[in-house]
Amino acid sequence: MKFIHLSDLHIGKRVNEFSMCEDQKYILRQILQIIDDEEPDAVIIAGDVYDKSIPSTEAVELLDSFLYRLSKRRSEVFIISGNHDSPERLSFGSRLIDGSGIHIAPVYSGEIKPFAVKGVNIYLLPFIKPAHVRRFFEDEKIESYTDAMRVAIEKMGVDKAQCNILVTHQFVTGSDTTDSEDLSVGGTDNVDASVFEPFDYVALGHLHRPQNCGSEKIRYCGTPLKYSFSEANDRKSVTVGELDGEKQLTVRTVDLTPQRDMVKLRGMYNELISKSFYDGTSYGEDYVHITLTDEDDIPDAVTKLRLAYKNLMKLEYDNTRTRARGQSEAVAADVETKTPLELFDDLFAMQNNETMNEQERGYISQLIESVWEGEA
């Protein structure tokens, strides 16, 4: 049984206020091409189909057209909701479209019946929290996410003599995160990989970087696009797996090439605006994060840089002043012990990367005196 594992499409997502819809349309077309080349028996989408529980009309249209195109292929399609989706809204009409080979997991009800594809059982377990499972199994001790997943899986009654795939959306303990996921503060939402023992493959969604959890049997395929600059150096792909009746698993990836990449650039302003820096690159179209190392702020830098870097998403400086800002907490501790003039001295140095000259110092010290005496 051959399958393609996708997750975290986040259709409708905006990154730094840039709509990703065009990029998503482009990458979904590429995914359809891969499906045509690979001819899998199953296409799995492991949650975070949409970016929001109430998706934009544009996002709904995009998913509708992707699903319609999928339904015209021979593969069966399996979809679960992630923490970003509303399970109720995502599964609207699911029983109606089931016959067209698009299977969307219903809201968790304590009971999960597998689908069979070429002798492999596919279990769809949408994103759940402990409370969602506790509701149905009041006698079980369910305190953590691991407890919840363990109970939900136990209740499936998986026959380990058969081949079994679980599709789910959770944070497996010890996995590698990026800046574009929504993880709970303090990390109480992690699930121990040992709960997945009954399965021959676990198609995971939630984390955005492709990775195996201990073995290739438990895998995050990652997002089809980069959704934060922390992923600038990642390679995005779809995971293609094959599971035979002997429980032999093979897993490989097919790379995805985005319409626009996300890149981080760094240097002096004059360097970055010189044609030799960006000529022959795709930076003009890419989503770029520029770090200027100039000591002085460049007036209107964003507008000027956008002449060469149309999709400049983020601009920051790395210089003496911005580094000093990191030390400003230490400076704040000095407030009690320093004179107003000394404090202003520090502020001036931080803003201008140089100390005041005699004339400036004289002016400020007069000003401070008059303020202090209430004469200003």
Binding site for Mn ion (CB under 5 A): 8, 48
Identify any residues that bridge with 48 across adjacent strands, giving them in sequence order.
none
Burial of 198 (0-12, 13-18, 19+ CB in 10 A): middle
Cβ-proximal residue to Mn ion, closest one: 48
- Work out how close the CB of 82 gets to Mn ion at its nearest, in angstroms, rounded to a whole number: 6
Distance (Å) of CA 181 to CA 91, 164, 167, 321: 23, 28, 18, 31
Half-sphere exposure of 266 (CA within 13 A, CB side): 5
Q: What are phi and psi of 107, to 5 degrees?
A: -55, 140
Residue with Cβ nearer Mn ion (8 or 23): 8
Give the list of residues 6+ apart from residue 28 with CB closer than 8 angstroms, or none: 9, 62, 66, 224
| Contact call for residues 5 and 203 (beta carbons, < 8 A) | yes
Q: Report the nearest approach of Mn ion to the CB of residue 226 (Å).
A: 13
- Other Cβ atoms within 10 Å of 221 Cβ, number: 29
Nearer Cβ to Mn ion, position 213 or 301?
213
For the bound state, the minimum distance from the C-beta of residue 182 to Mn ion, rounded and expressed in Å, comes to 7
- Closest CB to Mn ion among 179 and 285? 179
Give the residue with the Cβ less far from Mn ion, 48 or 286: 48
Nearer to Mn ion, 24 or 164 (CB): 24
State the nearest-atom distance from the C-beta of 303 to Mn ion, in Å: 33
Rounded distance between C-alpha atoms, residue 186 and residue 154, angstroms = 27
Residue type, 367: L
CB of 154 vs Mn ion, minimal distance in Å: 26
Cβ closest to Mn ion, residue 185 vs residue 330? 185
Tell me the closest approach of the beta carbon of residue 48 to Mn ion, in angstroms: 4
